């Protein structure tokens, strides 16, 4: 028996008064409206609860994903900090080496300058020695020429002495 039939039965009942039947109809309609409202509220509530459950699950997945990303970023940060410390130590070592090499370069530059001065001095001495040797060479040539002349004179004198000795021997015999 449907609610419409019940309403019709109530209205057709002659023993019940008009005001009572109106009150009954109003009450039945009120109950029906309240039941329909309650059903809609329950449906909406269930729908919202399902949606809320889905949102909660999505939020939980998102939170899990964000926590995983945070952990990865934290690990990456720690690795980067360790690498940064290593790079800083390498930089400091390089700076120390550059300082040592700068001092060594300065020392070597001074040594090169001294060697250049020594080479220049030796070059000057070589130039003087070459000039002196040329002078001695010219003097030696002149002396050689004089010695040649002296040797010629000596040879002539020796020839003359030999000639004189030969002739003296002849004269004395």
Residues of the chain with pLDDT > 90, as a percent, come to: 42
Band of the pLDDT at 14, cuts 50, 70, 90?
very low
CA of 62: how far to CAs of 57, 66, 75, 77, 149, in Å? 8, 6, 20, 22, 122
- φ and ψ at 16, to 5 degrees? -85, 145
Q: Per-residue pLDDT averaged across 7-36, rounded? A: 72
Q: Per-residue pLDDT averaged across 160-173, rounded? A: 58
Instruction: Give me the domain span that covers residue 150.
Output: 3-172
Judge whether 35 and 50 are in contact, CB under 8 Å.
no
Report d(CA 85, CA 91) in Å as an integer.
10
Number of domains in the chain: 1
Summarised one tens digit per residue, pLDDT across range 102-155 is 999 999 999 999 999 999 999 999 999 999 999 999 988 888 888 877 777 777
Q: Per-residue pLDDT averaged across 85-109, rounded? A: 95
Which of helix, strand or coil describes residue 17?
coil
Q: What one-character DSSP code corresponds to residue 16?
A: S
Q: Decide if pLDDT at 6 tops 80.
A: no
Q: Select the more confidently predicted residue: 45 or 13.
A: 45
Q: Which long-range contacts (CB under 8 A, 24 or more apart) does 56-63 make?
A: none
Instruction: Classify residue 165 as exposed, middle or buried by CB count within 10 Å of its CB (0-12, 13-18, 19+).
Output: exposed
């Amino acid at each position: 028996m449907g609610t419409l039939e019940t309403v019709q039965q109530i209205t057709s009942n002659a023993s019940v008064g008009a005001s009572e039947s109106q009150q009954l109809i109003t009450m039945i309609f009120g109950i029906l409206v309240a039941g329909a409202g309650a059903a809609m509220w329950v449906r909406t509530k269930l729908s919202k609860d399902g949606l809320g459950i889905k949102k909660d699950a999505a939020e939980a997945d998102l939170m899990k994903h964000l926590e995983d990303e945070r952990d990865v970023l934290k690990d990456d940060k720690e690795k980067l900090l360790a690498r940064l410390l290593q790079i800083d130590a390498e930089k400091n070592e390089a700076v120390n080496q550059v300082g040592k090499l700068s001092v060594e370069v300065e020392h070597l530059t001074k040594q090169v300058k001294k060697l250049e001065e020594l080479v220049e001095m030796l070059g000057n001495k070589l130039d003087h020695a070459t000039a002196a040797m040329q002078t001695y060479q010219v003097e030696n040539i002149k002396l050689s020429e004089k010695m040649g002349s002296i040797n010629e004179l000596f040879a002539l004198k020796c020839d003359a002495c030999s000639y004189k000795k030969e002739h003296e021997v002849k004269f004395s015999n």
